[in-house]
Amino acid sequence: MSDFTVAVAGVTGAVGQEMLQVLERRNFPVGRLIPLASERSKGKKISFKGEEVPVEVLGTDSFNGVDLALFSAGGSISKEFGPIASHAGAVVVDNSSAFRMDPEVPLVVPEVNPQAVKDHNGIIANPNCSTIIMVVGIQPIHQLSPIESIIVSTYQAASGAGAKGMDALNKELSGEQLSDSPFPHRLAGNLIPRIDTLQDNAYTREEMKMVYETIKIMELPESTPISATCVRVPVERTHCESIQVITRDEVSLDSVRQAMSEAPGLTVLDAPEKDIYPTPLEATGQDDVFVGRIRRPYNSPRATDIYLAGDQILKGAALNAVQIAELVFKN
C-alpha cells in the first residue's frame, strides 16, 4: 500500500487517541495525518510517530485530499460530517451508531464478515463495542453449525462511557461524591443494570444494538431469538460477556475449542481448574478477544456457554476501525 492522507475526527477522545496508537503500531501507511477535534481543542498538539502534530478544528473543508477518515466524535458529528468527508473522496470508517443500521452502509467486523467492505459507498460502520466482542467469540461456533438463538449478559467497564466514565470511577474510588457523573448511580462498589436509554420493550438501547447489529453482521434470520442484558461494572477498562448460544446441530465441545483456537482474533484461556479464564486485567491492551469457561448446560445438547473478555477501546473500537481500513485499502 502507498501512503495515504488520514484524518481522525474526535482525535482528543479516548478512542481517537487509541486510533492513533493503533495506526502507528500496525504501520498503517499514513503519509499525512490530519487530527480533527472541536473548537475546544484548538491549539493542542498530538504525538504521532515521534512528531507533534497540531489539532485542527473540524469543519466542512477538513477532508479535501483525505483518503481515509476515521470518526469517533459522536453520532451527531458523524451524521453531519461523514457524508461531507465521503463526498470529498474519503473512505469513512465511523465508530458511532449513526450509520450502523443503514441498509446501504456495511457493518463490519473483519474476523466475521470481511467481504462486506466491498459493498461500501464511501461509508463503513464500526459496530458497537459489545457486539464486536460477542461476534468474534461466537463466529467459530456459527461456522460449525448455524446459531439459532443467543442469550448474553455483559459486564461493561467504565471506559464504555469514554474518558469521563473512567475519570468518574477513579474519583469515586478515591472517595469523591460526584454531581456530574455519566452514570445514573454511583459505580464504585456497585453494579448498574442499565446502559443507555430504556426502550418501549423494556430493553435498553445498548441491548437492542447488540440484537440488531448481530443479525446484520452475521446475516442471521430476522426471527433469531437474541436477548441481551447489559450491566455497568466498577472496572476501569475491558468488557466481559457471558454467552449461551444454541446451534441447529449438536457440536462437541472439543470441536468448539479447536475452532476457537484456530479463529482469528481469539485467544483461548480455558483451564478453569487451574484458574485460567479471561479477566479484564488480562485482556486490557490486547488485540484479541479472550474466551474461556467453554461448557455445555445440563440437558442441552445443542447449547454452548462461553465467557469473553475484550478491550472495548481497542478491539471494540479503534483496532476494529483500523482493521476495516486495512481491508479497504488492501483491496
Q: At 80, list the grid cell.
A: 453531519
Distance from C-alpha of 142 to C-alpha of 318, rounded to nearest angstrom: 25
- The amino acid sitting at 237 is R
Does 240 participate in catalysis according to the annotation? no
Distance from C-alpha of 27 to C-alpha of 212, rounded to nearest angstrom: 33
Distance from C-alpha of 97 to C-alpha of 78, rounded to nearest angstrom: 9
What's the start-to-end Cα distance of the chain, in Å? Answer: 9
Sign of CA dihedral 183, 314, 151, 190: negative
Which of 120, 230, 239, 240 is flagged as catalytic?
A: 239
Which of 129, 142, 230, 240 is flagged as catalytic?
A: 129
Distance from C-alpha of 164 to C-alpha of 30, rounded to nearest angstrom: 29
Sign of CA dihedral 138, 143, 144, 145: positive
Does 129 participate in catalysis according to the annotation? yes
Residues acting as catalytic residues: 129, 239
